[in-house]
Structure 1
Amino acid sequence: MLNMTRHEKEKYFLSATGEKQIFPSLQDPFSVELSVVVPAYNEELRLDGTSSLNFFVLSQKKTPSFTYEVIVIDDGSKDKTTQVAMQYTRKYGADKVRVLTLVKNRGKGGAVRMGTLSSRGRLILMADADGATKFCDIEKVETALNEINSKPENMAISCGSRAHLEKESVAQRSLFRTFLMLGFHFLVWFFCVRGIKDTQCGFKLFTREAAVKTFSCLHVERWAFDVELLYIAQCFKIPIAEVAVNWTEIEGSKLVPFWSWLQMGRDLVFIRLRYLTGAWKLKAAVKTD
């Protein structure tokens, strides 16, 4: 069984007519081509008619044979994120858009994990609610995924990357924040993940099998969860691609506060130590078919 604790209310989503329906499991066989997992915390204002989520759903109408779902995970928001997200369910139907409302705030990693473990897709894309990376870039990451996919295991991960924009962003960032960023990159390289320049971009594509193997082992639920995911993948020798994607600074996007940088640094050390000491263990993959 996948290691996950759910509140009873988190086991269900509401249909367009308000009926309770149970979420599937990542252990089930896939039933759509793509699941888009969108964590959202206090995103009432973003999830409106002009959001990137709306653009994605509308763009897929051009290819009606393509099956997909969008799962919006309300990570214990204090605003009307769930109510606004439910407007998409009523507009497009629960087969296309589902809302998973968490009883309490878990953190971005916890929200992504809950959404992924509730998904139906052959491929699973995690994407931020602010639309800083456009959904059209999925073609880039999917092409890279297919190039490294290890058949018949069907294990691969493709990560969007902003590393090509680093020089520009450093020029616009304060000296202190640049120091924090470089320190974080060093800790990532030293303790956990090598060969990936941008571990934190919120645009990652997984095969279903790779998602089962990595998310079933995930422990970190806040900012550093991406690093643990990639650490797990490298331990299992799952192929990982890194692809440059278009990225736009979105006004009002949540920046990582100073104390979160410290927490992330602490988490990186703990990730390494807990796996080395056996406090955390890597589990065998769970079959999805």
Structure 2
Amino acid sequence: MKKFSLIVPVYKQEKTIKANILSILDVLKTITVPFEIIPVIDGILDNSEGEIKKIKDSHVHVVGYKNNRGKGYAVRYGFAHAGGDVIGFLDAGGDLKPEALLVMLAQFEFQDADVVLGSKRHPDSKVDYPTYRRILSWGYQQIVKVLFGLNVTDTQVGMKLYKRKLLEDVLPRLLVKHFAFDIEILAVAYHLGYRKIYESPVEINFFFSKTSMVWSKLFRVIYNMITDTLAVFYRLKIKRYYDNASKRKWRFDPELNFRINVG
């Protein structure tokens, strides 16, 4: 590994994002390779960008755009600004302890991985998670295993590392911008021959309130996750949409600085 880039999609996190980035910075300063942290402001809707800019450290490079476009676009936007040969993303918010990145990076190098996934179901994970979320997560993973044949126990934790070459091959093909973005990356990567996918332990303290978006939009989120996932399956297994030989509609995105798949 010559350089590590960590993308942090940020959406309305002005109250917590500065502390969040500082905690990540403290962890990554213990590694021996050059690194950068790239917070991506997914829509300028509050003062998240201003809070991050208070951090005067050359490792932190905040980027972003005016309108909210979803996590999938934010990760692709961050990739366009990343210089690492290993590139990861970590969800903002503080639920995930960034110390897990150290184990993931060591595992990535030791196993010459294509992908390392943070996993709630790894035996060494420490997870403070509501029962209903555990049930929903387990059910979704059964669907993923049946549809895509991925031999992993958890695809939805917002902490993942990828080889740069994998992202160069996969990201321009993707269509999902919101709910099933994580599984679209993994399913397409696996389909294209990137099979060295490993899971790594994480520590999660789930911050939860009954007035949160999780409660108010729970059924809509479930519906969108399932429909997006089925759409990925249809494109992958039936339409063969992601195949190298498949004819796709390409458009050059000047913000991303590469061609993207638009349908």
- Say whether the fold is shared (TM-score over 0.5): yes
1:99 and 1:111 map into 2 onto residues whose CA distance is 12
Does the residue aligned with 1:191 lie in a helix, a strand or coil? helix
The answer on 1:46 being equivalent to 2:23 is no
Counterpart of 1:242? 199
Of residues 151, 159, 174, the one that matches 1:195 is 151
User: Over aligned residue pairs, what C-alpha RMSD do you find?
Assistant: 2.9
Does the residue aligned with 2:17 lie in a helix, a strand or coil? coil
Cα 1:199–1:61 shift into 2, 3 Å: closer
Residue by residue, what CA displacement relative to the aligned partner does 1:121-145 show, whole Å, maximum 9, x if unpaired?
1211111112322222122112222
Counterpart of 1:103? 66
Counterpart of 1:3? none
Counterpart mapping for 1:90-239 below 5 A:
91-93=56-58, 96-149=59-112, 156-164=114-122, 172-174=130-132, 180-238=136-194, 239=196
2:34 and 2:242 map into 1 onto residues whose CA distance is 35
The percentage of counterpart residues that share the same residue type is: 25
Q: Which has the higher contact order (CA 8 A, sep 6+)?
A: 1
Counterpart of 1:78? 45
Does the residue aligned with 1:92 lie in a helix, a strand or coil? coil
**How many pairs were matched up?**
240
Cα 1:235–1:92 shift into 2, 3 Å: same
TM-score (norm 1): 0.73
2:127 and 2:162 map into 1 onto residues whose CA distance is 29
2:37 and 2:81 map into 1 onto residues whose CA distance is 11
Cα 1:55–1:228 shift into 2, 3 Å: same
Aligned partner letter, 1:57: L
1:168 and 1:100 map into 2 onto residues whose CA distance is 31
2:234 and 2:120 map into 1 onto residues whose CA distance is 28
User: Does the 8 A contact of 1:192 with 1:268 survive in 2?
Assistant: no
Query: What stretches of structure 2 of length at least 5 have no aligned partner?
Result: 246-257, 259-263
Residue by residue, what CA displacement relative to the aligned partner does 1:91-126 show, whole Å, maximum 9, x if unpaired?
113xx2122222221111221121123211121111
Residue by residue, what CA displacement relative to the aligned partner does 1:181-212 show, whole Å, maximum 9, x if unpaired?
44422321222352111100111011211221
Cα 1:147–1:277 shift into 2, 3 Å: same
1:281 and 1:133 map into 2 onto residues whose CA distance is 31
The answer on 1:262 being equivalent to 2:223 is yes
